[in-house]
């Protein structure tokens, strides 16, 4: 069975590292980078230049999976073809697509041109370099930073940036820059309950971060952004760097006559994570629209991408051995938001669907534990 896995993110790498050399199973992993990126830690790389990648080759030892560094340009499910940037066309019997998501700029004027995203290492490097340059004695221009979107990524990023600014400020004897967190919705971190959100909000305020909830980003230019309040009042905020973390959509790279796409361009899949109309194609991670036990879309998180990858890895082995496929049963084990240094807030799942709220150092340890768990699952 000639199998292609596209993408070595949380979903694709979980598939590959689940596999063992199996007669009749021939697997090629195609990934544009020679490394796996811990996307959930990109905000740390943006603020502190923390290492957030691991070389791929050693992770695949003993799996029987071949891998190739190449960029996928398009996938035609009707022809069963994967087109690469270098002009080659790969064919398959079974395909696993885990190419992740891209930033959604919602067609806000100027935003794509004038903002930095936080989806890959190059974006983190760009932010890190800007922050450091603003503390050079000969830096000219606006040092302030506007972050759009107060979900998990935006909140984790602003706290790390505030910490970095404090360190540089002490070291270089210059005041820190201002950080504005702009959010169209009425609250930050809508995924958390009120008590945890209030704790997170206080932490951000203690850092001096200016939280502008109920402010819709209307336009971005080289000089900054225009925001509009719920009441319709517009104001301009000057900034030397605009960072947009306000939305994602599935990567639009897979095409097929029978394909069904849902919100955010995610590809509808069955309970085995196979694309509707294409039983030989598994779509997992941010690109797939898997449903939970209540029929609701599974969130686009690393946690769920990893679960989907693991079940798909098992299913590839089942297919090769002519066995029944397992169904995917999503489970949210908890959710933790880091708030800079040793501070975090979140919750973990207890038996009987109870949630245990955790804040402070222990929440930080829980967040790190989930990262270590991922790391050991792929090693």
Q: Which of residues 144 and 335 has its CB atom nearest to ligand FAD in the complex?
A: 335
Instruction: Determine if 267 is a binding residue for ligand FAD (CB under 6 A).
Output: no
Tell which one of 100, 148, 149, 256 touches ligand FAD (CB under 6 A). Answer: 100
Residues 6+ apart with CB under 8 A from 83: 72, 73, 74, 75, 76, 89
269: left (phi over 0), alpha (psi -120 to 50) or beta: beta
Task: Report the distance separating Cα 17 and Cα 207, nearest Å.
Answer: 40
DSSP class of 265: G
The stretch near ligand FAD (CB under 6 A) out of 38-46, 177-185, 290-298, 325-333 is 38-46
Q: Which of residues 305 and 316 has its CB atom nearest to ligand FAD in the complex?
A: 305
248: left (phi over 0), alpha (psi -120 to 50) or beta: beta
Instruction: Determine if 43 is a binding residue for ligand FAD (CB under 6 A).
Output: yes
β-strand pairing of 145-148 with 241-244 = parallel
Task: Report the distance separating Cα 264 and Cα 39, nearest Å.
Answer: 19
Query: What are the percentages of helix, strand and coil residues in the chain, rounded to 5?
Result: 30, 30, 40
Instruction: Determine if 377 is a binding residue for ligand FAD (CB under 6 A).
Output: no
- Measured in degrees and rounded to the nearest 5, phi and psi for residue 253 equal -135, -10
Task: Report the distance separating Cα 129 and Cα 114, nearest Å.
Answer: 16
Query: 346 forms bridges with which residues in the sheet?
Result: 336, 358
Query: 94 forms bridges with which residues in the sheet?
Result: 3
**Site map for ligand FAD, 59-88, x if CB under 6 A?**
------------xx----------------
Instruction: Determine if 152 is a binding residue for ligand FAD (CB under 6 A).
Output: yes
Instruction: Determine if 378 is a binding residue for ligand FAD (CB under 6 A).
Output: no
Tell which one of 4, 7, 199, 249 touches ligand FAD (CB under 6 A). Answer: 7
Query: Tokens representing 114?
Result: 């004038």
Q: Name the residue whose CB lies closest to ligand FAD.
A: 9
Q: Give min distance, CB of 245 to ligand FAD, in A.
A: 7
Q: Which of residues 149 and 240 has its CB atom nearest to ligand FAD in the complex?
A: 149
**Site map for ligand FAD, 215-254, x if CB under 6 A?**
------------------------------------x---
Tell which one of 149, 176, 256, 285 touches ligand FAD (CB under 6 A). Answer: 285
Give the residues lining the site for ligand FAD (CB under 6 A).
Answer: 7-12, 30-33, 37, 39-40, 42-43, 71-72, 98-100, 118-119, 152-153, 251, 285-286, 300-303, 305
């Amino acid at each position: 069975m000639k199998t292609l896995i596209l993408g070595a993110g949380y979903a694709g790498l979980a598939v590959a590292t689940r596999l063992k050399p199996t007669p009749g199973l021939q697997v090629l992993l195609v990934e544009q980078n020679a490394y796996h990126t811990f996307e959930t830690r990109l905000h740390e790389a943006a603020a502190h230049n923390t290492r957030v990648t691991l070389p791929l080759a050693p992770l695949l030892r003993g799996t029987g999976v071949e891998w190739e560094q190449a960029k996928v340009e398009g996938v035609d499910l009707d022809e069963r073809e994967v087109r690469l940037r270098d002009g080659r066309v790969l064919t398959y019997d079974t395909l696993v697509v885990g190419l992740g998501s891209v930033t959604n700029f919602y067609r806000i004027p100027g935003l794509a041109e004038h903002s930095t995203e936080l989806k890959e290492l190059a974006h983190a490097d760009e932010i890190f370099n800007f922050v450091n340059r603003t503390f050079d004695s000969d830096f000219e221009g606006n040092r302030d930073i506007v972050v759009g979107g107060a979900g998990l990524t935006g909140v984790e990023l602003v706290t790390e940036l505030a910490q970095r600014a404090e360190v540089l400020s002490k070291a270089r004897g210059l005041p820190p820059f201002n950080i504005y967190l702009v959010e169209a919705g009425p609250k930050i971190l809508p995924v958390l309950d009120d008590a945890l959100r209030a704790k997170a909000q206080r932490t951000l305020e203690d850092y001096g971060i200016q939280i502008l909830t109920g402010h819709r980003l209307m336009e971005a230019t080289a000089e900054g952004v225009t925001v509009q309040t719920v009441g319709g009042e517009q104001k301009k905020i000057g900034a030397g760097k605009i960072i947009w973390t306000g939305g994602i959509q599935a990567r639009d790279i897979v095409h097929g006559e029978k394909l069904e796409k849902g919100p955010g361009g995610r590809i509808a899949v069955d309970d085995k994570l196979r694309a509707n109309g294409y039983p030989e194609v598994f779509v997992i991670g941010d690109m797939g629209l898997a449903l939970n036990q209540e029929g609701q879309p599974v969130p686009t998180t690393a946690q769920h991408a990893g679960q989907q990858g693991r079940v798909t890895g098992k299913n590839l082995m089942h297919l090769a051995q002519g066995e029944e496929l397992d169904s995917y049963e999503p489970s949210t084990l908890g959710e933790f938001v880091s708030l800079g240094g040793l501070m975090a807030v979140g919750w973990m799942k207890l038996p009987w669907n109870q949630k245990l709220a955790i804040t402070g150092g222990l929440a930080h340890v829980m967040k790190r534990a989930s990262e270590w768990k991922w790391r050991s699952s792929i090693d």
